[in-house]
């Protein structure tokens, strides 16, 4: 199977990567940057495997076993919150000092590179400054919170949010019903991984109801509701923050247009009809802040603090 075949809705970055392979222009460092759950890691693996497959006629046998001697993947350890300096200095650096075993390149993929500690980032910078001629280092990051000196030494490959139609087709191909796929695509907000989380959630109805209760409570204007809402979000903070964003957008759209067909989730209509009129500009500004705050769920930050920040922005926009 063609390594890039499973990548959905990322035609531009895939074209760049395929062209570089076709023209045999492989540089030492890449930064795959974009939202979570849109195919960055899949693309990194496809890129690495395509390079190695061209250079090693038996590479497919190794990939079937889940390993190739010229491909190394670095991830955050399960018991750690960050990628440590030791993972770079004791795994990446010694591995790259060895020449390729079977291919012409040795390729390292660092997943969730935004989770590197400052010490790990500085250690990696030394390798990026003077990499072996056969080395290819691919950083996969959800956000650009990396050292500028690292970013400047990488070719930036940007990934974007996916269209609802792309996500829906992906889910249909994997056996989900039309209704399931359509609803999950809406809730996914451009991310396949988020859409799948909704489909895997057994008690989605209760989570939806909690999100509605949070928005309704914060719209009441009581300052103490911020802390009560943050507590309620502890159950499923990522899913709840995502639903709250969708609900707020629907409220804004319905109150401005009175058109139910424009809503992402028709169930939002009751809430949009019962809370007081919101100021669209203020609400859209709050949505931008909520999206930024939500990104910290993927970092080493106390979730309750993130929940409180989100609840405050909702309260401020609706009061």
Asked if the domains 3-158 and 201-318 are classified in one and the same CATH topology, the answer is: no
| Angstrom distances, CA of residue 120 to CA of 4, 115, 128 | 30, 9, 12
24-54 pLDDT per residue, tens? 999 999 999 998 889 999 999 999 999 999 9
* Contact between 107 and 136 (Cβ < 8 Å): yes
What was the pLDDT predicted at 80?
83
The predicted model gives 290-306 an average pLDDT of: 86
| Domain range 201-318, its CATH number among 3.30.2000, 3.40.390, 1.20.272, 1.10.287 | 1.20.272
- Residue in 126, 122, 36, 112 with CA at minimum distance from that of residue 80: 112
Look at the domain 3-158 and name its fold: Rossmann fold (3.40.50)
The structural domains of the chain, with segments of one domain joined by +, span 3-158, 201-318
What was the pLDDT predicted at 1?
63
Question: Which pTM does this prediction carry?
Answer: 0.85
What was the pLDDT predicted at 59?
92
pLDDT band at 90 (very low <50, low <70, confident <90, very high): very high
* Contact between 162 and 38 (Cβ < 8 Å): yes
What is the gyration radius of the CA atoms in the chain, in angstroms? Answer: 22
278-297 pLDDT per residue, tens? 888 888 899 999 988 988 88
The conformation of residue 176, written as its DSSP 8-state character, comes to -
186-235 pLDDT per residue, tens? 888 889 988 898 888 877 788 888 999 999 999 988 999 999 999 999 98
């Amino acid at each position: 199977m063609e390594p890039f075949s499973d990548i959905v809705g990322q035609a531009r970055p895939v074209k760049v990567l395929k062209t570089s392979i076709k023209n045999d222009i492989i540089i030492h460092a890449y930064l795959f940057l974009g939202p979570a759950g849109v195919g960055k890691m899949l693309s990194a693996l496809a890129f690495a495997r395509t390079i190695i497959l061209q250079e090693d006629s038996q590479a497919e046998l190794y990939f079937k076993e889940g390993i190739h001697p010229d491909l190394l993947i670095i991830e955050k350890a399960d018991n750690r919150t960050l990628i440590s300096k030791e993972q770079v200095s004791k795994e990446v650096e010694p591995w790259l000092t060895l020449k390729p075993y079977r291919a012409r390149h040795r390729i390292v993929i660092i997943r969730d590179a935004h989770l590197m500690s400052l010490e790990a980032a500085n250690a990696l910078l030394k390798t990026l400054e003077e990499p072996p001629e056969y080395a290819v280092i691919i950083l996969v990051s959800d956000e650009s919170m990396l050292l500028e000196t690292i970013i400047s030494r990488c070719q930036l490959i940007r990934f974007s949010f996916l269209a609802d139609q792309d996500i829906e087709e992906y889910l249909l191909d994997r056996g989900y019903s039309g209704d399931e796929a359509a609803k999950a695509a809406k809730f996914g907000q451009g991310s396949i991984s988020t859409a799948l989380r909704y489909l895997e959630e057994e008690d989605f109805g209760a989570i939806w109801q909690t999100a509605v209760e949070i928005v309704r409570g914060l719209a009441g204007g009581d300052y103490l509701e911020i802390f009560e809402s943050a507590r309620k979000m502890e159950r499923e903070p990522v899913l709840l923050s995502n639903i709250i964003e969708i609900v707020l957008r629907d409220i804004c759209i319905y109150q401005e247009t009175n058109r139910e067909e424009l809503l992402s989730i028709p169930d939002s209509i009751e809430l949009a009809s019962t809370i007081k009129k919101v100021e669209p500009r203020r609400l859209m500004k709050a949505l931008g802040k909520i999206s930024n705050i939500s990104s910290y769920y993927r970092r080493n930050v106390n979730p309750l603090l993130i929940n409180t920040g989100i609840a405050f922005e909702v309260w401020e926009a609706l009061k």
